[in-house]
Structure 1
Amino acid sequence: MITVAGLGVSGRAAARALAARGERVVVLEAKDDHRLRAVAAELAGLGVEVRFGEAARPPDGTTMLVTSPGWRPGHPLLVAAAEAGVEVIGEVELAWRLRRPGAAPWLALTGTDGKTTVVRMLTAMLMAAGHKALAVGNVGTPIVEAVSGTSDVLAVELSSFQLHWARSLAPHTAAVLNVAPDHLDWHGSMEEYTRVKGTLFERAGTVVYNADDEAVTRLAEPYSGAVGFTLRVPRPGQLGVVEDLLVDRAFVANPADNAEELAVLSDVRPFAPHNVANALAAAALARSYGVPPGAVRQGLADFVPDPHRMETVADVGGVTYVNDSKATNAHAAAASLAAYPSIVWVAGGLLKGADVDDLVRCAAPRLRAAVLLGADRDRIHAALTRHAVNVPVVEVPGQDTGVMDRVVTEAAGLATPGDTVLLAPAGASMDIFDNYLARGEAFARAVRRLAVRSGGAEE
């Protein structure tokens, strides 16, 4: 019998896949509501038993436990399973084991930030080259469903949670985009978080790394033939930038003497230095799979950025309002802040144990003011007091979702024509909102209401 921990997207996908292979499956779910009961009823039709309520140990007869990625290693159920000699794996590891002979290769990537953007850019490049490609993993289709599909190549986004429970992945190509403090409350330390990210390289056919990120470069050092990407002029074996061109000096016949033009900087949307790095990472993954230069550029043209990522909401009175709610950690917020010259910064949320002093120190010259909300707003305020002493700061208390209207009103009062009011929270959203999507939508709605009160806006 195989036990599945959690009835979320990955848990139910794992249960369906196992049941389809004739396994006896029991799903354990601590929460109990109408929606989950409906999912349980659907799974019951496949022969899957769902047990609701907290479980401190796996059911008798369990030979393997498949955990949802968000469950911490110290959860009593997982600890009890390990102590009983039951193997604990995640949905990603299960998917790898369930692949059929000749299955679609994986082009896999991880990193603190930019994963979804890169995997969508990569998928667009693969499709432009004529491949039947699918974005899977931490975005899109659960991997355990995709491995039984008809795609000829999978673009796989992996979080550190997923990698923690994956032990035998051997992707065609593996990329680590960046490593910065995040999820330290889950992993316990920066060292462990970094180590887990680096496990993606261990059995990869080709290693792709961010040559501008010191921690990632160290992770790639043991692997000969590793391919770097950089915002500088590339050395042989790298992809990089020459004047306004994205160029490849890795996947060419003679990297020492030759370079291949892939795209121009204006092909990258939205344009920002970190997004150019995202485009280069996607290009390196695509080129490792034989995608020609023309398809790389076409893929960038076809790519549609996801919402809540440096998304311009409106221009109101000469002030641009930008929604980057997906900037859920300091590293992502720093990249967003670096893209604008004069900013009223909207920040706050759950910092997840991360420090924001370096973020504030680097951003200080660009900040005109800051409006803070959420549970850890006092920590950001303290950093601003230390490193941006002349920047006006307004704290907006409240845990109700209507707090964003008050935030936007305060930001509008601080901004002058030419400024950007930038939602780049540097923290997770769950202190007030269901997720970063809900936070970004609340910001956008508040901006649009402001525009109506102000007599219109330019979209």
Structure 2
Amino acid sequence: MGSGQVTDWQGKNVTVAGLGVSGIPAAKALHARGANVTVVNDGDDARAREQAAELEALGITVRLGDGATLPEGTELIVTAPGWKPDKPLFAAAERAGVPVWGDVELAWRLRGPDAAPWLAVTGTNGKTTTVQMLASILEAAGLRTAAVGNIGVSLLDAVLGDERYDVLAVELSSYQLHWAPSLRAHSAAVLNLAPDHLDWHGSMEAYARDKGRIYEGNRVACVYNVADKATEDLVREADVEEGCRAVGFTLGTPGPSQLGVVEGILVDRAFVENRQKNAQELAEVADVTPPAPHNIANALAAAALARAYGVPAKAVRDGLRAFTPDAHRIAHVADVDGVTYIDDSKATNTHAAEASLAAYESIVWIAGGLAKGAVFEELVSKAAKRLRAAVLIGADRGLIREALARHAPEVPVVDLDRTDTGAMLAAVQEAKRLAQPGDTVLLAPACASMDMFVNYNQRGDAFAEAVRELGAGA
């Protein structure tokens, strides 16, 4: 099975690792093409049995509670992106010389001969927003597109469905890129690189290497973050097609082959005639919602990919104006007694929280949850001068408390020794007590939510509900 599109699946023995959002569509797609499909899954709960019954009714073999053993005769494994590379199944595959693909690789191989090109985005933070902005810009240019991949529509559905696209805006996680060796995007961006998912990748170097795969074989532009040298290093290391260019984005004045900001205007000095002397106005900072610095960076990255595809400047402006961010991403909840309440529950790691904290001048910070191995020293030292107070919740709040004691000892800290869901109301009440008119109470936990909530959405909803209670009682 080389690196191109695969057309003949008849009789091939394929093992799909993992039931779930990518495993089930992959199993069905391969079975429909005549492959002999076996699904293996670690779990054996009621949900898994229900999913297994659905697949078995189609004639697909399912083995529950045994994700470690390589089925006899396997010629290919298609894995869910979350399965760690060190699992015994993959060691067995390597010994047997069996290739391992992820759902992205499978979608890439199954796409048709006249398939839409991919504009791909990865990075530790901002991926979803940037891809949604990009799709909005492409739509404003009159192109048939969709935001796909690690969000919304699965890539397999986008590639195999009846809808015909001109171009796809594709969000890719480091997991997905790890298992996508032959992916070749039209153009791609790495937004930023910060330690995340190191428990999965094993090291920062391995994490960065997987992110960098997104640039391999790019045809037109490798978009990087001027403020994050690691992203530029990945461009330098990438093996791209002849004529592919490195295009930087910056919150400062852009040089040639860069997009940046000049006096409140987003400008392009990469995709213009005579870029040594000329610049193209794209949009105003005010056209971006919210106009926080990191979100301007997202907009510039989206604009760079759209311009690489040939989209006119007007479509960049119209697309950014039409874009509204998802819930729980620096979402304004309410103003109560002169204090602004902001929900950035999506800030599940330190890098995301850092961007959020940089957007406000005087902050009562609500933080804590599951740290996932993160350290908070740099985050706290950078934000110290903006912090009026901090309210800490969640299992690993002690790590943040220690960082605050070291780097912001004058900042008052309320340590709520609670991990029940009602803790959020108590946290908001404490924040209200500490805040003064003109302050921002910011939920930017810098941690995952699963110690207290189902997910970051539920955590953000709990915050918004608590703020509404405050308003009602005000």
Q: TM-score, normalised by structure 2?
A: 0.93
Q: In the TM superposition, what is the alpha-carbon distance from 1:429 to its structure 2 partner? A: 1.3
Contact 1:349 1:427 in 2 (8 A): yes
47-56 vs 314-323, which deviates more? 47-56
Structure 2: distance between partners of 1:22 and 1:397: 56
The equivalent residue for 2:165 is 151
300-309 vs 405-414, which deviates more? 405-414
1:264 aligned to which of 284, 288, 292: 284
Contact 2:117 2:167 in 1 (8 A): yes
Contact 2:102 2:180 in 1 (8 A): yes
Contact 2:17 2:67 in 1 (8 A): no
Opposite residue 68 of structure 2, the aligned amino acid is A
Matched residues, number? 454
> Is 1:318 equivalent to 2:330 in the alignment?
no
Opposite residue 209 of structure 1, the aligned amino acid is Y
The equivalent residue for 1:303 is 323
The equivalent residue for 1:67 is 79
Structure 2: distance between partners of 1:228 and 1:413: 44
The equivalent residue for 2:217 is 203
Q: In the TM superposition, what is the alpha-carbon distance from 1:222 to its structure 2 partner? A: 4.3
The equivalent residue for 1:457 is none
Runs of 4+ that moved beyond 3 A: 32-38
1:216 aligned to which of 231, 252, 269: 231
Deviations 1:205-253 (A, max 9, x none): 1211111112112222346620111111111111111111101111112
Unmatched segments (≥5 aa) in structure 1: 455-459
Structure 2: distance between partners of 1:333 and 1:177: 15
The equivalent residue for 1:177 is 191
Structure 2: distance between partners of 1:36 and 1:131: 39
Contact 2:264 2:284 in 1 (8 A): yes
SS of equivalent to 1:15: helix
Structure 2: distance between partners of 1:113 and 1:4: 29
Deviations 1:374-420 (A, max 9, x none): 12111111100000000011111223222212211221221122111
Structure 2: distance between partners of 1:128 and 1:121: 11
307-316 vs 15-24, which deviates more? 15-24
> Is 1:188 equivalent to 2:202 in the alignment?
yes
Q: TM-score, normalised by structure 1?
A: 0.96
Opposite residue 143 of structure 1, the aligned amino acid is L
Deviations 1:102-154 (A, max 9, x none): 11100001000000000000000111111110111111111122112322211
1:82 aligned to which of 76, 90, 94: 94
Opposite residue 210 of structure 2, the aligned amino acid is V
The equivalent residue for 2:381 is 361
SS of equivalent to 1:327: coil
Opposite residue 193 of structure 2, the aligned amino acid is V
1:123 aligned to which of 135, 138, 141: 135
Deviations 1:23-49 (A, max 9, x none): 121212222344333333333343323
Opposite residue 194 of structure 1, the aligned amino acid is A
Structure 2: distance between partners of 1:287 and 1:172: 12
> Is 1:29 equivalent to 2:26 in the alignment?
no
149-158 vs 400-409, which deviates more? 400-409
Contact 1:184 1:354 in 2 (8 A): no
SS of equivalent to 2:245: coil
Contact 2:269 2:278 in 1 (8 A): yes
SS of equivalent to 2:311: coil
Contact 1:347 1:426 in 2 (8 A): yes
Deviations 1:308-361 (A, max 9, x none): 000011112221111001111111101100111110101112222222111100
Q: In the TM superposition, what is the alpha-carbon distance from 1:366 to its structure 2 partner? A: 0.5
2:125 aligned to which of 113, 125, 136: 113
1:280 aligned to which of 269, 293, 300: 300
174-183 vs 45-54, which deviates more? 45-54
The equivalent residue for 1:8 is 20
Unmatched segments (≥5 aa) in structure 2: 1-12, 239-243
Q: In the TM superposition, what is the alpha-carbon distance from 1:169 to its structure 2 partner? A: 0.7
Contact 1:57 1:81 in 2 (8 A): no
Q: Percent identity?
A: 63
Structure 2: distance between partners of 1:39 and 1:328: 30
